[in-house]
Amino acid sequence: MYAVFFIIHQILDIYWWIIILSAIFSWLYAFNVVNPRNQFVGSVGNMLFRLTEPALRPIRRFLPDLGGIDISPIILLLAITFIKVFLNTSVQPLFGIGYI
């Protein structure tokens, strides 16, 4: 059981960093720091968009329009943190596993 919880935590940690990279990339793209016509930049942006958009889209539907400010990544990061804390404090003790 420890291995299952460890894998879940690792997946959530990796997805945490993907969300942060996606937010940073969107800022760099919005302020023309990166060249959007560069093939590598385009493929990295497309990959980050495809990885994060399925999780961010439902959050954006329920958020009010804040005039160009997108707080959906912050809400998703808070949700990931909640899931990790819930697993550590509620689920793992049921199986007799220490904190990860």
Percent of the chain past pLDDT 90, that is, above it, reads 65
Q: Please report the pLDDT score of residue 53 as a whole number.
A: 95
The mean pLDDT of the chain is 90
**What tokens were used for 31?**
């302020």
Which of helix, strand or coil describes residue 37?
Answer: coil
Q: Which residue has the higher pLDDT, 65 or 23?
A: 23
- pTM (2 d.p.): 0.87
Which of helix, strand or coil describes residue 29?
Answer: helix
Q: Average pLDDT, stretch 47-70?
A: 91
Residue 2 has pLDDT above 90, yes or no: no
Q: Please report the pLDDT score of residue 78 as a whole number.
A: 97
pLDDT level of residue 67 (50, 70, 90 thresholds): confident
Amino acid identity, residue 29? Answer: Y
Residue 94 has pLDDT above 90, yes or no: no
Chain mean position to CA 59: 12
